[in-house]
Homo-oligomer: A and B are copies of this chain.
Amino acid sequence: MANEPEPLTYRDAGVDIDAVTGALRSVGQMAKRTHTPRVLTGLGSFGALFSADFRSMEEPVLVSSTDGVGTKLMVARAAGRFDTVGADLVNHCIDDIVVMGAEPLFFLDYVAAGHFPEGRLEQIVSGFARACEEQGVALIGGETAEMPGLYAESDFDLAGFIVGVIDKKDILGPERVREGDVLLALRSSGLHTNGYSLAQKILFERAGLGVNDTLPGVEGTVADALLAVHRCYWQVLKPLIRDPDLHALAHITGGGFTDNIPRVLPEGLSVVIDRDSWQVPPLFVEMARRGPVVRDEMDRTFNMGLGMILLVSAESADRVTAALKAAGEDPVRCGRVVAGDRTVGYEGADGL
């Protein structure tokens, strides 16, 4: 019996339920601040409850989406800044359902890591909670997994899940788009959540920069520029979303203009984007130069300073532009819908 090994506990396997439970308690407090009267349970029960009273709608439809932050997380880790990536994810998810015309309702998060150093989980979740609160979306659930062995000690990943609602007759999309429609673009805050593998290859590998270096014309450090939070367009789009002259919205995510705009084009229509219509922000110009990366590849990878495209009727373009300006936006009339086979063409100078 003297040779009997010490009995094992779950904690010996690297999982300290009590430590995670402590962090989850403060995370629960943050989430609670986002809870509207429609949230019917707290985070403790097996599933989260949200009222589905959609009686004011004729044919309510749930709109859902899931996403991750991608390799932007590597920049966060390199910069030691963990309180913004949660907001990136919330905003990205909201934008993905707002483009269909939906009102975002609630969000759930998944956070996994090899190990959460003290305070790390709280930092990450504070990003989720802050963005949800800003946008009036309830953070109603989440899963936190500490998985030594599956993730390296400092590795982590996030996934987000959003649900919204729309009356079927109000769904935006391809069937509303007409030849001659005008493309109005809203500015992005930076790279948003896509193209980070290429951006890091350019800036860190080829250009040899560090997160604390600077780039000509770019405010703050490389970390500041790369970690700028993905813009949420919900507040500015909310007053326009039922405007009959707004035909479709394209969220410029992975694949850039080239891959995202065709998602809202019907058979027989294409768009032409005028590269002379806006000035590409210095961050993108610097990346193109230091790659180098040719313009077509840039447009297929990054948002180039324009994170959301509105497709509106030609006759409403001036009115919608004025409304956007009144809301503090600086919209760009960046292109038009033409006959074609669901592609994105470009005109104007290279501009890089």
Contacts and interface: CB of A to CB of B under 8 A. Distances in A.
Contact of A47 (B50, B64, B141): B64
Contacts of A142: 66
Given A52-B52, A149-B71, A263 B8 contact: no
B157 A64 contact: no
Contacts of A15: 197-198
A109 interface: yes
A148 B70 CA distance: 10
Nearest to A147: B71
A255 interface: yes
Question: Which size bracket describes the interface of A in this complex?
Answer: 35 or more
A350 interface: no
Nearest to A166: B49
A66 B162 CA distance: 11
B110 A110 contact: yes
A292 to B, nearest CB: 5
Interface stretch (A27-35, A98-106, A273-281, A321-329): A98-106
Contacts of A106: 62, 64
A86 to B, nearest CB: 14
Interface in A23-80: 40, 44-54, 59-68, 70-71, 73-74
A40 B63 CA distance: 10
A150 interface: yes
A206 interface: yes
Contact of A263 (B46, B140, B149, B163): B46
Interface in A6-31: 7-10, 12-15, 17
B112 A68 contact: yes
A5 interface: yes
B197 A14 contact: yes
Contacts of A108: 64-66, 161
A180 to B, nearest CB: 23
B44 A61 contact: no
A141 B65 contact: yes
Contacts of A8: 198, 201-202, 206, 291-293, 297
A49 B171 contact: yes
Interface string A147-160: 11111100101010
Given A5-B206, A8-B198, A68-B112, 15 more contacts: A4-B292, A8-B206, A10-B198, A17-B254, A44-B263, A46-B251, A51-B60, A52-B54, A53-B59, A66-B161, A70-B145, A108-B161, A147-B197, A161-B161, A163-B163
A173 interface: yes
B141 A159 contact: no
Contact of A149 (B14, B145, B197): B197
Nearest to A67: B143
B152 A73 contact: no
The 4 closest A-B pairs by CB, nearest first: A161-B161, A13-B197, A110-B159, A52-B60
A62 B45 contact: no
A339 interface: no
Nearest to A50: B62
B198 A7 contact: no
